[in-house]
Amino acid sequence: MSYFPEVTAKIKYEGKDSKNPLAFKYYNPEQTVAGKTMRDHLRFSIAYWHTFMGGGQDIFGLPTFAHSWHHSSDPLDRAKHTLAAAFEFFEKLDVDYYCFHDRDISPEGSTFAETQKNFEIIINMAKDLQQSSGVKLLWGTANLFSHPRYAQGAGTNPNAHVFAYAAAQVKAAIDATHVLGGENYVFWGGREGYETLLNTDMKHEQTQFARFLHMAVDYKKKIGFEGQFLIEPKPKEPTTHQYDTDAATTLSFLREYDLLDHFKLNIEANHATLAGHTFQHELAVSATAGKLGSVDANRGDTLLGWDTDQFPTNLYDTTLAMLVILEQGGLGSGGLNFDAKPRRTSIDDIDLFYAHIGGMDAFARGLLAAQKIIDDGVFSRFISERYASYQSGIGKDIMAGNFSLEKATAWIAENGEPTRKSARQELLENILNQYI
């Protein structure tokens, strides 16, 4: 049985002039770029929640999709069909990784025990499918934001009972990720924040949350899970103010609570712009701190104030993102996970293929452009000349900590006003356009 009968074979690379909507125009998995295949550079991953569980609903409208894998009225049966459809999709799209939340992949039962039982059944099935297909788990995570019990937070919930519930759920999700050989495990704190300070003890909540993460770190060590722990920053939505607002805020929290060694960041494009930053900025902040772990590859709409989770097709974004990624030596155990959904008016299953193909091609173009930029050295040469004065003289002293306000005063008394130099932003932007 096939869930995607319209796609009769693996999607293939056909080159940039192809008019076949079901072909890659730029993504050529085995093509080598700077000694590594595109496949290994890009490490594409499918987001289980959007692609297989998304229904096209929005806050003003009911689901619009009617996927065949959702037809069964029995939740567990539906979950099995969904998983089978997912692996058919992975193979037809020729993608190596996927990501899930515990509650996407298997249904909540009426008790904790039943929920765990469901989860176990599905995880076993996923293990078999991974084995037979070769598809791997990029990361697992626990959904600690959808159920009403988490409305006031999970690790930051004012009720210790909820904290414990969340902790139990995380244990199971880490276990599952471990069983499936997941290369990372993600924490996204959609409810870890506050709605109003009138009812909130911010210090208490942040301390709780640090305890929560330390417990996860301890457990990881105990069971020997080698995957990377990742935190995914987001500023707001659903919660008015989330504690892990952006990369810098999250790093500050990790530093304050002695968690920095145990976590990297999972940066999402749309979360970056909601925080008032560019995607490239959040990637660069993370990479600069040695903490860029993985990427949620999507696109927001900066004229809208919510997470639109559109597929990434903007070539400026993909090129500049790949530039940061290549400069830090690649994604490591991370990947490019399409945390993106078709618009709710794209109601056909085939639209899922179109959407992912577009995103994959856009990142492939970004990779090619970024590698060429690096090879040509245009920007890097400009930058090293721009900061050259720190390689010798007082510049060298400054960087080495051998300078002082008094020395500066004496030196300026002698040397006077500096000569100014153009920063050439427009010229550099023109050059960038030559690579797009």
> Residue length, the chain?
436
Q: Which of 145, 187, 225, 263 binds a second copy (CB under 8 A)?
A: 145
Please, which residue, 91 or 237, has the CB nearer to a second copy? 237
- Strands 228-231 and 241-242 come out as unpaired
CB atoms within 10 A of CB 405: 7
Cα–Cα distance, 170 to 215 (Å, whole number): 10
299-318 residues in contact with a second copy (CB under 8 A) are 301-307, 311, 313-316
> Residue 137 forms beta bridges with which residues?
98
- Per the annotation, the verdict on 17 as an active-site residue is no
**DSSP category for residue 47:** E
Cα–Cα distance, 207 to 202 (Å, whole number): 9
CB of 19 to a second copy, least distance (A): 9
CB of 301 to a second copy, least distance (A): 7
CB of 383 to a second copy, least distance (A): 5
Does 77 participate in binding a second copy (rule CB under 8 A)? Answer: no
Cβ(267)–Cβ(284) under 8 Å? Answer: no
CB of 224 to a second copy, least distance (A): 14
Q: Which of 5, 261, 345, 375 binds a second copy (CB under 8 A)?
A: 345
**Residues binding a second copy: number (CB under 8 A):** 155
Does 73 participate in binding a second copy (rule CB under 8 A)? Answer: no
Please, which residue, 9 or 59, has the CB nearer to a second copy? 59
Residues whose CB is less than 8 angstroms from the CB of residue 59 and which lie 6 or more positions away in sequence, other chains included: none
Q: Which of 135, 267, 355, 368 binds a second copy (CB under 8 A)?
A: 355
Q: Which of 70, 136, 211, 372 binds a second copy (CB under 8 A)?
A: 211
**DSSP category for residue 260:** G
Among candidates 350, 357, 338, which has minimal Cα distance to 299? 338
153-172 residues in contact with a second copy (CB under 8 A) are 158-168, 170-172
- Per the annotation, the verdict on 101 as an active-site residue is yes
82-101 residues in contact with a second copy (CB under 8 A) are none
**DSSP category for residue 61:** B
Please, which residue, 1 or 303, has the CB nearer to a second copy? 303
27-56 residues in contact with a second copy (CB under 8 A) are 56
Does 343 participate in binding a second copy (rule CB under 8 A)? Answer: yes
> Residue 228 forms beta bridges with which residues?
184
For residue 424, the number of C-alpha atoms closer than 13 Å in the C-beta half-sphere is 12
Q: Which stretch binds a second copy (CB under 8 A): 3-11, 39-47, 125-133, 359-367?
A: 359-367
Please, which residue, 118 or 129, has the CB nearer to a second copy? 118
CB of 35 to a second copy, least distance (A): 25
User: Which secondary-structure segment (H or E) carries 269?
Assistant: helix 269-274
CB atoms within 10 A of CB 76: 16
For 166-193, what is the HEC assignment?
HHHHHHHHHHHHHHCCCCEEEECCCCCE
Q: Which of 321, 357, 367, 368 binds a second copy (CB under 8 A)?
A: 357
266-285 residues in contact with a second copy (CB under 8 A) are 273-278, 280-281, 284-285
- Which of 104, 296, 307, 349 is the catalytic position? 104
User: Residue 392: phi, psi to the nearest 5?
Assistant: -155, 175
Residues whose CB is less than 8 angstroms from the CB of residue 427 and which lie 6 or more positions away in sequence, other chains included: none
Does 221 participate in binding a second copy (rule CB under 8 A)? Answer: no
Q: Can you tell me which residue has the tokens 């692996």?
A: 87
- Which of 41, 81, 101, 356 is the catalytic position? 101
* Residues labelled as active-site residues: 101, 104
